[in-house]
Amino acid sequence: MKVKFLFPILIIGLLYLSMQVSSCTKEKVPNVVPVVECPDTIHFQATILPLMMANCSTSGCHDASNGAGGYTLEDHASVSMSADVILTSIRHEGGIPPMPQNLPKLSDADISNFNCWMQQGMLNN
C-alpha cells in the first residue's frame, strides 16, 4: 500500500526537479542580422562610408583622433569589423548605447541600407 502512495509523489518530485534544472539554464541566442528586402546593391564608398562620416566619425567621436569606445569608423575594415555592434547601436536596441550619441535616431532608410550592406557581405565596393 505504501508503494502505491510513494510512486506518484516520486514522479511529481522528479518532474518538479527537472523543470527547475531546465529553467536555470539560459540558451544563448545568436546575434542575427534582421533580414530585410534589399532591392539594390549597397555600395560602401557611395552609401555606408558617407553615412559613417556624417554621423559617426565626426570630430571627437569615432575618428582617428579619439576612437570613442574603442571604435574608429573611418574605413571599410573598421566598419565591417564592428558592423554587428553598429547595427545594434543605430537601431537603438538594448545592451549597447544608442548612436549617434545625443542626436536623433538615424532614418529608417539609413538603417535599412546598413543592414542590407551587411546582408550583401559587407563588400568594399
CB 79 within 8 A of CB 73: yes
Domain boundaries, the chain: 44-119
Question: In this structure, how many other beta carbons lie within 10 angstroms of the beta carbon of residue 33?
Answer: 14
CB 109 within 8 A of CB 47: no
Query: Could you give the CA distance from residue 19 to residue 64 in angstroms, rounded to a whole number?
Result: 52
pLDDT digits (tens, 9 = 90+) for 4-28: 555 566 566 555 555 554 444 444 4
pLDDT digits (tens, 9 = 90+) for 91-106: 998 888 999 888 899 9
User: Would you state the cell numbers that stand for residue 22, as one nine-digit string?
Assistant: 531546465
